[in-house]
Structure 1
Amino acid sequence: MAQADRTERTTGPSWDTSAGPSSAHRPAGFLGLRHWGRDARGSGPWRRGLLIALLALLTAVLLAFHAELPNSTGNLGSLLETFLPWLGLAVPVLLVPALLRRSATALLALLLPTVLWANLFGGLLTDKSGGKGDWTVVSHNVAAANTDVPDTIRGLIASDAQIVALQELAGRQLHAYESGLAGAYPYHTVEGTVGLWSKYPIGEVSPVDLKMGWTRAFRAQVTTPQGPVAVYVAHLPSVRLKAEGGFTVNQRDVSAQALGDAIQGEPLKKVLLLGDLNGTMNDRSLAPVTSQMRSAQGAAGDGFGFSWPAAFPMARIDQIMSKGGLEPVDSRTLPRDGSDHLAVAAAYRYN
């Protein structure tokens, strides 16, 4: 027994090393990559998660070729482009099962929509503000069913804007806006359900025919410190998402063409467009307007600037656009009020 004890102390305990180092001493590696071998069914990391990879590639295709998705069936192209930034949520949603499945193929495929989304929208995540501007404009769909008109009026005055455009002015509420804004804005004009309030003189007001049968847009000449500016105020027709008809935008598209034609024929060099266009800058159907004007949010905003619905904004359908040397230096949304839209504001600098 003593001889055996001496032998054990000399040679140390016996270990079976045929299976390599004990798992207790193996490094786990990043994300547990030592477990990324074959699973119980014999599939390796490059063969697992093929469905996840396919969904990632489909997301990439929609991001890269959204303009090719036809509008012939339910206006699917315009519907996708209205909410296009939200397609990026597919990346984190697919990332979770890709990691759980330990799929190298899915992770590699997810790089493609990530890069494409960053290329399309990454610039909106940076602050492009150029500092305080010299004059500010606001556009707001105040909603015919506004639940707190006095609060909306207070918010508009607090914005300290020099020019304010309002849409969806209901007859019973119009007097409240006219009386409530009169002290801050000595000049104003209303055509149909849209109006313009200004600290600068307004002249040469004329309706713009949106092919709707009633007035929801007009053009006014405003004399600013930069000289005369043609200000267009517009509220394009609403769109609907219906089970039987898809994304119904036909009347909106007809009106967008009419508005684009009016702006294209504008004799003044400096032009502002303020209004609820019921569409985003990505929507191809608004190209008659967006192709010739610059979005304040895209040029000087910080973030996406979603304006609708106010309770949980998902799209920027309220726009401030310009052309002819009007360069925005800031763009933002205003705090929520009694409307189902958020007001949008942009600041410009004298040049």
Structure 2
Amino acid sequence: MAVAGREGKPGTRWPRAFRRGPGGGRRRGWLLTGLGVVTAGLLALHRFVPNAPGRLGSLLESFLFWLGPFTVLLLLCATVRRARAALLVLLLPAAAWTLSFGPLLLPAPPPGARELTVLQHNVADDNADPEGTARALADSGADLIALQELVDPALAVYRQALAPRYPYHSVQGTVGLWSRHPLTGARALDIRPRDITEPWRRALRAEVRTPYGEVAAYVVHLPSVRLGPGGLGSARRDESAALLGGILAAEASAQVVLAGDLNGTVDDRGLAPLTSRLAAPERGLALSYPAALPLARIDQVLARGAHVPAVRTLPATGSDHLPVLVRVSLHGPTRP
């Protein structure tokens, strides 16, 4: 039997969630409006969110990108509920997210004449298929390959598979660099947090003699972070980043490329000692971790004396990280 609708005409009764009782639609509209204001504030003013307790600021910045999809969900809810004021307010976080992340989604520019391609990959020390991973790396066509979590016996597999196409390489501790161009002066760097007493070598520096001049190449693996009841456990990572930032401040080379598993996004203030000195990719989202359902790009390639036009991920290997392939456009003079 027909039931009187909202306008008093025969029709189907609206579900309770969509009916406007006295003030009900207004209350739902205010809730969406409030969420929109908070989301816009977090996107635009995330640097003012305190990092204590629990490094909440870093935690927010690690997943800042996902406030965009959250805003889309709020817009859909406001549309369904016909909350006009909320729709207008939600344009604020939509605009803030677009300004921050929109450029990453634009098409990458065509390759330039002075570019290097850098492949960054944490191969995972428990990788069950180092042979397949090594083949994928060798087939990538990159000029430089930076790897972390290199352990025996898999290290011998990577050395053998990469040698034909990458005749120059250096491994320091558990990080390594393979290159098509000559390497000189390779050495380990000390970025070990103070409370780690066991052997710990997870950073190296080498000079790469490219056709576009000398490049100081860094390969690093910053300490892991943990999310627990006390918040984001990133103290060790932040300490290592500060030590590395000091090394970069003293770096004399005009052209610098840093590749590594930084265990953080470029928005995370804990990596500010690096991101304040080096340029991040301009195009490409390239979420790299975890490989099964990527939520963030914690595998980074940053540069100085250069810009980074584009980054993209490659297909999954036997690692829990996805490889990222990055184009680096150098500014320095061409080598004779």
TM-score, scaled to structure 2 = 0.87
1:100 is displaced (CA, Å) by: 3.3
Rate the CA distance shift 1:45–1:279 in 2: closer, same or farther, 3 A. same
**3-state SS, counterpart of residue 90 of structure 2:** helix
Deviation at 1:339, TM superposition (A): 0.7
Q: Secondary structure at the match of 1:327?
A: strand
Q: Is contact 2:78–2:86 with CA below 8 Å preserved after alignment?
A: yes
Instruction: State the distance in 2 between where 1:327 and 1:54 align.
Output: 39
Distance in 2 between the 1:278 and 1:350 partners?
26
Q: Where does 1:49-88 land on structure 2 (aligned, <5 Å)?
A: 49-88=29-68
Indicate the residue corresponding to 1:286 in structure 2. Answer: 271
Q: Which residue of 2 aligns with 1:269?
A: 254
Q: Distance in 2 between matches of 1:126 and 1:194?
A: 32
Question: Contact 1:131–1:330 (CA<8 Å) still a contact in 2?
Answer: no
**What SS does structure 2 have at the residue aligned with 1:247?**
strand
Q: Is the 8 A contact 1:130 1:330 kept in 2?
A: no
Q: What do residues 31-77 of structure 1 show as CA deviations (whole Å, max 9, x unaligned)?
A: xxxxxxx9442x49766521121111111111111111111111111
What does residue 232 of structure 2 align with?
247
- Asked if residue 149 in structure 1 is aligned to residue 130 in structure 2, the reply is yes
> Which residue pairs with 2:94 in the alignment?
114
SS of residue paired to 1:320: strand
Match of 1:135 among 95, 98, 116: 116
Q: Distance in 2 between matches of 1:105 and 1:40?
A: 18
Cα distance between partner residues in 2 of 1:108 and 1:46: 15
- Summarize the Cα distance change of 1:327–1:62 in structure 2 as closer, same or farther, 3 Å threshold: closer
Number of the residue aligned with 1:4: none
Change (3 A) 1:52 1:349: closer
- TM-superposed deviation, 1:94: 1.8
Structure 2 unmatched runs, 5+ = 1-6, 11-18, 332-336
Deviations 1:294-343 (A, max 9, x none): 01x2x2x23x111111111111111111112x233442211111111111
- Mapped to 2, the partners of 1:264 and 1:173 lie a distance apart of 34
Larger radius of gyration: 1
The alignment status of 1:197 with 2:178, answered yes or no, reads: yes
Do the aligned partners of residues 173 and 44 (structure 1) sit closer, same or farther apart at CA in structure 2, a change above 3 Å counting? closer
Match of 1:258 among 243, 248, 252: 243
Kept after mapping to 2: 8 A contact 1:47/1:105: no
- Supply the distance in 1 between the matched residues of 2:291 and 2:24 (Cα, whole angstroms): 48
**Aligned partner of 2:211 among 225, 229, 236:** 225
| 1:9 aligned residue | none
1:47/1:103 contact within 8 Å kept: no
Q: How much identity, in percent, do the aligned residues show? A: 47
Deviation at 1:87, TM superposition (A): 1.0
Gaps of 5+ in 1: 1-20, 25-37
Q: What CA distance in whole angstroms lies between the structure 1 residues aligned with 2:307 and 2:80?
A: 48
Q: Which residue identity does 1:261 align to in structure 2?
A: G
CA–CA distance in 2 between the matches of 1:350 and 1:270?
Answer: 7
Asked if structure 2 preserves the Cα contact closer than 8 Å seen for 1:132 and 1:329, the reply is no
Give the Cα separation in 2 of the matches to 1:211 and 1:92: 42
- In structure 1, how many angstroms separate the alpha carbons of the residues matched to 2:325 and 2:171? 20
Q: Deviations over 1:103-135 (max 9, x none)?
A: 222222211111111111111111132336643
Question: Which deviations, in whole Å up to 9, do the C-alpha atoms of 1:240-281 show, x marking residues without a partner?
Answer: 0012x2110000000000111111111111111010000111
Number of corresponding residues: 311
**1:132 to 1:309, Cα distance in 2 relative to 1, 3 A:** farther
Is 2:196 aligned against 1:215?
Answer: no
2:117 maps to amino acid: T
Residues 232 and 273 of structure 1 are in contact (CA less than 8 Å); yes or no, is this contact kept in structure 2? yes
Query: CA offsets, 1:111-168, max 9 Å, x none?
Result: 1111111111111111132336643211110001112111111111111112111001
Question: Quick one: which amino acid aligns to residue 88 of structure 1?
Answer: G
What's the CA shift string for 1:193-218, capped at 9, x where partnerless? 00011111111112211124511001
Letter in 2 for 1:216: R
Pair 265,338 (structure 1): closer, same or farther in 2 beyond 3 Å: same
Alignment correspondent of 1:347: 327
Q: Is 1:327 aligned to 2:307, yes or no?
A: yes
Residue type at the aligned position of 2:260:
G
